[in-house]
Chains A and B, each alone.
Chain A
Amino acid sequence: MAGVLRNSVFVVAGLLLLALPTAGQVTLGELSTNASGTISAGYNGDYGNQISSDHSLALGGSGTFSGFYYNPNFVSFTVSPYLNQARDNSAFQSISNASGVSASSNIFGGSHFPGSINFAKAYNSEGNFSVPGVANYTTHGNSETFGINWAEIVPGLPTLSANFQMGNAQYSIYGTNDNGNTDSHSFSLRSGYTLKGFNLGAYFGDGAGHSETPQILDNSSEPLITSSSSRDYGFNVGHALPLHGQFASAFGSSKFSSDYAGGSDTGTVDVYTASAIFQPTQKFNFSFSTDYSTNLSGSLYEAVAGAGGITQPLNLGQGTHSLDLLGNASYSVMANMRAQAFADHREQYYLGESYGSSSYGGGLTYWRPLFGGSFNAALTLSDNTASTSNQNSLGINSTVNYNRRFSDGWVVGGSFGYSQNVQTALISYLTSAYSYGGSVRKRFGKFGWSGGAGVTKTLLTEVAGSSNTSETFNTSIFYSHWLTANGNYSKTSGTAIQGAFGLISNPIPQPIVPESDLILFGGKSYSFGLSSSPVRRLTIGASYSRANTDSTQVGVLSNDNTKMINAVVNYQFRKMYFTGGYSNLVQGFSASGLPAANVSSFYLGVSRWFNFF
């Protein structure tokens, strides 16, 4: 029955496509349209240890139908459907045969009332379950997004823009029995107006989200269910000041609520900011700014949620708040040197205690041509004093970059950075970091080579086990159109928190996040790719990637690995493409208790591009 239904769909689709060339010749009043696309047919097979084997003739394709009514600025639209697209039969990067459609429309473009609508729906498409610093793990599922934007821009009247977005996604992770889903919507209004030299603005936003995240790393059969919502509004005002200055002030209020694994939390964050900047001469400018938050705990939670992280409510105690006062001055000492000085004072109350700190410092930024290349460096030193503990520390922030192109074709570049005792969102935590890297490339006639490496390490000063490190190395060579080869290697370790689509780097000082939400991870990944075009219109490509990570969450150790092999051969004859491809994915998570998933697919077929009208 399903086969008959599928064939009926193909017949209808085929007849519709047959009708398109005729329809394109018909002038429908002021409507102007274009349509083009690719239709493919081939023999496709899928097999593996967690899917049922299948092989059959398969139809697929992709297309674009676009047009406008009266004028492209009046109403224009684009619709792009695709059917059964995968990395073994097209340039579509999905291991499974994905289908879907994306559509967008613009109305009244260039007028005082422009708007746009967009929509996208995808079935069986590939997604990522990420681990910072190494290759992503593979998911597959469905997703849908819809959005509307509209604005009113009438001279002399307040401007108004409105935006609505909604979306949902369902996915499963190869190598587990776990499924995840997300659902969200948001609405925002913004307005601006200039009255007697004052730039006025206001905004309102309302949004909510729900997610069920698979707990594949801690061997839990139950997904982590979270919901959150927020309602924001705010105002801002700005005005020109003497000495080429500008003044700005804003108030923002955000009310949020979250449900996390049965528990709930609500809060309101009010933030007041003010700043003034002056530039009395071309060489000299100075500024002052201040901001005050009535809820420091809520601000940190919103920073985590804004980065896509999922965590329990952050418990920093009752009545948390923060105040920051900052003064800055900058002066161009020479054409290629600039000096800066600053003074910063912060007051924070959290975990039942008041904290205060003062920082004073200055620095230089210098750039110049050097030995035929370009050199730039910056150094900032600061004296940090924590008033509560009376502790004093020296803060350093430095970067050095050098790039040079040699006359014999070598191009080299290098960078180095070091920072020590840099202030974070919370006064009592400072971070230190270093990074260095380099790149080189050279072309010898038809042969070319490039390579690069980078190392970074960050940690919270005096907090053991808080470091995050990453190392990356890459190289590629090519010989004319005959061969291109590339390889990458990454190694990473650190602490992360759960996100809706994988792990994310923790955006706030680590000790603030509940320990049960922290995930220790370490891993490495490498990949190789080869491609060749030995004759015109013939391309051959193959790639191999592998990642292996260990993670620990609430004492559960999981060893996770993913391996992907992909090979494609494509030959073009005029508008026809003869394609053969093979994909294989092996992916497993030891905490899931299941054997690694092993999924393979192959394709052999032909496709034809049409410009229907």
Chain B
Amino acid sequence: MRGTRKLSSVIILLLVLLLLPIAAWTSRNAKPPANEIGPPELELERGRKLIYERSFSSEREVRPNRGFWHRLVDVIAGEPDFKNLVRPYSIATDSHGRIIVTDPGAGGVHIFDFAQQKYKFIERREKDKDAMLGPQCVAVDAQDNIYVTDSETGKIFVFNSGGKYQRAIGSLKGGEGYFKRPTGIAVDSAAQRIYVTDTLRDQIFMMDMQGNILQTIGKRGGGDLEFNFPTELRLDGQTLIVVDTMNFRVQVLGRDGAFRYTIGKLGDSSGDIFRPKGIGVDSEGDLYVVDGLWGVVQVFNRDGQLLYYFGQRGTGAGQFQLPTGLTIDHDDRIFIVDSYNHRIQVFHYFGSKKTTREGM
């Protein structure tokens, strides 16, 4: 009697523990793949066009087709804890096409490598020395080293292309950070310069690669070379483009810090700028400016004229909720951080001509 009871217990145990995950797996796999219907293709003048490609939000999407053994382990032990975008902010791409996203909500930096089907998450929250607490903006240099501003600790963290910590710039004795609130960052590998905006100081710092300050650019105000909470930075050719947030404009400077011109003004019409966030420049030199409140991306030419815009507020494909960072790779793929929708949306711009841009 006791032996029969034990045998039945074992059978029940095996049934429950094996059939349950299989049932869960089959029911999960029975789901039809979600067909992401994006916005219609945007036809532009002179045969140019902008199309929506896709979005992604998780480590899971880096390797969508897992092998048999991986799937078997997934069934028995459950899928790994994939990292998801929590509150992504800034974005950059490197020479290998990897997409690097800062995520203050997750307390780290995501590296998506779709080509190699690899993913890495960089974090330093638990470190006793030089902990990274509020990763804000990101840039890469010619060697694909990753530079991350930390608005909470007031430092800049440098990681190599593999995500290994190299050093912290602006780390003072006692653990304090030199910068009050570092946000935007850009790296000029050719000239060995790092540009960082200190939003609370209303200034841009030009440094060498060791973090020695060579020049400070700007002061508080509303005139030329004056800033009111500057944030994102982008290098393009011989220019340094600065988002001058509370002056509701984008200032274009030379790499030496000399003023050149501004784009945008305050307003709530097309072509006006209300809450400028990320910026980028495509292969034709047109400037893309994300407006966080309206949920659109406006595209200006170098004369400051609005060419077109795309996006609207919402949760669907091609729609944004509090978009923040933007970057454009060498193939004119536009990566936009859709922060409140916890995802990155990818568009592809097809221009009418090939142009060669200076620098970079």
Distance in angstroms between the alpha carbons of A609 and B77 in the assembled complex: 9
Chain A residues near B10: list those with CB within 8 A.
57
Beta-carbon contact of A18 and B20 below 8 Å: yes
Chain A residues near B76: list those with CB within 8 A.
576
Beta-carbon contact of A18 and B5 below 8 Å: no
CB distance from B329 to the nearest CB of A (A): 34
Beta-carbon contact of B13 and A57 below 8 Å: yes
Chain B residues near A158: list those with CB within 8 A.
none
Contact residues of A between 1 and 58, Cβ < 8 Å to B: 3-4, 7, 10-11, 14, 17-18, 21-22, 24-25, 39, 41, 56-57
Distance in angstroms between the alpha carbons of A59 and B16 in the assembled complex: 10
**CB-contact partner of A59 in B13, B24, B80, under 8 A:** B13
Q: Does B43 contact A (CB under 8 A)?
A: no
Contact residues of A between 145 and 161, Cβ < 8 Å to B: none
Closest to A576 in B: B77
Beta-carbon contact of A11 and B12 below 8 Å: yes
Beta-carbon contact of A14 and B16 below 8 Å: yes
Query: Knowing A14-B12, A608-B21 touch, does A574 contact B77 (C-beta < 8 A)?
Result: yes
Beta-carbon contact of A610 and B16 below 8 Å: no
A562-580 interface bits toward B, Cβ cutoff 8 Å, 1 = contact, 0 = none: 0000000000011110000
Chain B residues near A7: list those with CB within 8 A.
5, 8-9, 12
Q: Does A446 contact B (CB under 8 A)?
A: yes
CB distance from B8 to the nearest CB of A (A): 5
Chain A residues near B9: list those with CB within 8 A.
7, 10, 56-57
CB distance from A610 to the nearest CB of B (A): 6
Q: Does B79 contact A (CB under 8 A)?
A: yes
**CB-contact partner of B5 in A3, A17, A59, under 8 A:** A3
Beta-carbon contact of B77 and A57 below 8 Å: no
CB distance from B176 to the nearest CB of A (A): 12
**CB-contact partner of A10 in B16, B31, B77, under 8 A:** B16
Beta-carbon contact of B13 and A610 below 8 Å: no
Distance in angstroms between the alpha carbons of A22 and B9 in the assembled complex: 25
How many residues on chain B are close to A (CB under 8 Å)?
A: 27
Distance in angstroms between the alpha carbons of A334 and B5 in the assembled complex: 80
CB distance from A25 to the nearest CB of B (A): 6
Q: Does B27 contact A (CB under 8 A)?
A: yes
Residues of A contacting B: mostly = mixed
Chain B residues near A17: list those with CB within 8 A.
16, 20
Chain A residues near B15: list those with CB within 8 A.
11, 14
Distance in angstroms between the alpha carbons of A86 and B340 in the assembled complex: 41
Beta-carbon contact of A41 and B5 below 8 Å: no
Q: Does B81 contact A (CB under 8 A)?
A: yes
Contact residues of A between 420 and 464, Cβ < 8 Å to B: 445-446
A581-613 interface bits toward B, Cβ cutoff 8 Å, 1 = contact, 0 = none: 000000000000000000000000000111010
Beta-carbon contact of B77 and A41 below 8 Å: no
Query: Knowing A57-B6, A446-B128, A574-B81 touch, does A18 contact B19 (C-beta < 8 A)?
Result: yes
Query: Knowing A7-B5, A22-B27 touch, does A39 contact B12 (C-beta < 8 A)?
Result: no
Chain A residues near B28: list those with CB within 8 A.
21
Closest to B1 in A: A3
Seen from chain A, the residues whose Cβ lies within 8 Å of a Cβ on chain B are 3-4, 7, 10-11, 14, 17-18, 21-22, 24-25, 39, 41, 56-57, 59, 445-446, 573-576, 608-610, 612
The 20 listed contacts between A and B (C-beta, < 8 Å) are A7-B5, A10-B16, A14-B12, A14-B15, A14-B16, A14-B20, A18-B16, A21-B24, A41-B13, A41-B17, A56-B6, A57-B6, A59-B12, A574-B73, A575-B79, A576-B78, A608-B17, A608-B21, A608-B78, A610-B20
Taking A21-B24, A39-B17 as known contacts, 4 extra A-B pairs with beta carbons closer than 8 A to each other, sorted by chain A number, are A18-B23, A39-B16, A446-B128, A610-B21
